[in-house]
Amino acid sequence: MRGGLSGPRVLLRRLREVMAEPISAQERLDKIVTTIAANMVAEVCSLYVLRADGVLELFATEGLNRQAVHKASLRIGQGLVGLIAAEAAVLNLADAQEHPAFAYIPGTDEEAYHSFLGVPILRSGRTLGVLVVQNRVRKTYSDEEEEALQTTGMIIAEIIASGEVLGLAASQQTVLDLNRPMHIPGVVLSEGVGLGHVVLHEPRVVVTNFIAEDPDKEVKRLTAAIANLRLSIDDMIDRGEVAHHGEHRDVLEAYRMFAYDRGWTRRMEEAIVRSGLSAEAAVERVQSDTRARMQRQTDPYLLERLHDFDDLTYRLLRELMGKDKSTEMPENAIVVARSMGAAELLDYDRAKLRGLVLEEGTTTSHVAIVARALSIPTVGQLANVVSLADNGDSIIIDGESGYVHLRPPADVEQAYVTKVRFRARRQERYRQLRFKAPVTLDGVRIALNTNAGLLFDLPHFDESGADGIGLFRTELQFMIAPTFPKLGQQAELYSKILDGATGRPVTFRTLDIGGDKVLPYLTRSVQEENPAMGWRAIRIGLDRTVILRTQMRALLKAAGGRELRVMFPMISTVDEFLKAKELVKGEQRFLEKHGHALPSSLKLGAMIEVPALLFELDELLSVVDFVSVGTNDLFQFMLAVDRGNAKVAQRFDPLAPSFLRALRTIARKSAEYGKPATLCGELGGTPLTAMALMAIGFRSMSMAATSVGPVKDMIRSVNLGELEALLAPALNRPDGPPIRKLLQDFAESRDIPLN
């Protein structure tokens, strides 16, 4: 290349001049390929752009037959150009025609050229096209020439993403850029429909200055930013905190590993020195190359590390550009994130939040549970959605079908406006059921309760017409607080909840933290390999008794003169329940001694979430006042299915006979001992699964407030005797049809509403 190491910088400056000219999009592309060919002494320079239909179309060329522009094309994976697009990898060949993937494109006159250098045009790890140079002589292009072509590809990626080349494609297909409407399938985590605009949970920093006027200065800027980044990560780890917004400590350790990786730093420095990029552009260049390479991996561990690398890169860009994470929320915000904790969701302004979209997430992950409690439409398991979306993009989330429409066309948007109106009419039907009892056609009363966790759940509880609050998640107050809530703060919240319930029963669950619910201010002495089965819930309460004693004292004080119902989570043995019960008695004696009013009635229960309790039911039911079945954890422990792992969370059906038989045992034993049994897991939250629970003996269920109306509608339409007669033999017949299909057919034949 002419000009030695200054070649790439000269090329970038010339391209910047072309970008500033007031010419048409096609003229600009033509000038760009001509400039590249001249700078690299190449006889051919061609630009292929990836269309929405998966075809790479020739958009501009210098050296090939210009009559082939917008006529010649290749599919992804076809020929050398298609191979580069498919693998997002550079291809440098001394004789292209000897490569097994070579495919001659008729009409281009490229048969005379042998040497071939092609690079993918990448933006945020996405392939938008391919840039190629060719020569007649057989030669391998130098590393510097590869670098120059890749750097030029960054400029062209911004042109494509800006939409400037829209409308040039021969087939009138919209090119694959960030303005293209997209229809992305996912998994429903919380029902509802939301229309609004994207708010990225981790806002992307947009690089606008690509060219380094002074490379030495840019290297110093990069070095200083990396040093600051390392200090901030070291500081967080040394203080024993988790990452911002509640990410686990091991993520910070991964950040630190990347931050101190000399290879990562060296690649960014080389991009500045060799290619003439600014520090910001060098960071983005290395990120884009790394993401394109790692996205081809299937190892879940490596994919997790890719997320860590992305997060680290965004932190470094913010260091360089002096920007913080804050994003102005529009009035109709739909948050798009890779993953999120429950506390992070609560950080957003509920009045403006219309929906949540997650690359990960499962129906029983805690952020999904909180989203349902807050009636926030949520769809998860949408691959790469964070890279596909930009802040401010219009978006529709369909929490019924599981689809997300990114940058939807006007007709799709209008169809969803109509759908929202239809849902409003359906919700009105549920509101009319508010004061009607959930009684089956054959006269069986089913108690319907709601799950709650914060004060602003009370209006939803009241509107639902529920019998009571079957599960109040006390940990949410702890998750949104910067430190442990004091005794007075806890008592004030519990008192307001009891006031808002206006005499209806409220069952408080003591602090259920650990697993995937981490408090930044409660650190562990050792990192747990399997936190879901580690130090969590009642285990923390019995080890750190001051935490449980303070909470029980607050509950007892708040309920003075009223009934108090408290249940302990994650009970594994009857002995654990008895120890917790003795601790409560101690707090009762303390308050009585100091003249405080005690609850008029105190009922203590245990959550059945650990399979071992199924073999201690007689002993347990003889000492508790009630039991509550947490199907989310019970299911994951019984079937060894990590409820937060999207790869296996949908693998097994909770309506499988084995699990339903276990639940039936709990219901029957509870009835035998005359102890109430409520089911408070997500299994009771849909009409279909609630039908199964009623049929095996449950007469009390707790669910999200939005589920009460649909479940009540089902209850008032079903004959429970018929349902029991249908299900009983099916549970003992493993070769029969799936229980879910059996119930669906039953409901359809009797016109029982399931949505």
In angstroms, the CA 736 to CA 502 distance is 47
In angstroms, the CA 23 to CA 25 distance is 7
In angstroms, the CA 198 to CA 734 distance is 46
* Alpha-carbon dihedral sign for residues 243, 247, 248, 252: negative
Q: What one-character DSSP code corresponds to residue 361?
A: -
Beta strands in 353-453 (DSSP E): 353-358, 378-380, 394-398, 403-406, 447-452
| CA angle at 223 for the pair 220 and 227, rounded to the nearest 5° | 140
Beta strands in 272-415 (DSSP E): 333-337, 353-358, 378-380, 394-398, 403-406
Residue 598, CB-side half-sphere exposure with 13 Å CA sphere: 15
For residue 24, what are its two tokens?
A: 């048409």
**Order of strands across the sheet that contains 55-62:** 73-75, 55-62, 44-50, 126-135, 115-123, 91-93
Chain position carrying tokens 């490569």: 99
Q: Which residues pair with 735 in a beta bridge?
A: none
Active site (annotated) includes residue 594: no
Which residue among 201, 307, 366, 460 is the active-site one?
366
Helix axes 143-162 and 25-40, enclosed angle (nearest 10): 170
Active site (annotated) includes residue 366: yes
Which residue among 45, 307, 460, 680 is the active-site one?
680
In angstroms, the CA 102 to CA 81 distance is 9
In angstroms, the CA 233 to CA 668 distance is 53
712 burial level (CB within 10 Å; 0-12, 13-18, 19+): buried
CB 122 within 8 A of CB 88: yes
Q: What is the DSSP string of 518-562?
A: --TT---SS--S-GGGSS-THHHHHHSHHHHHHHHHHHHHHTTTS
Active site residue ranges: 366, 680
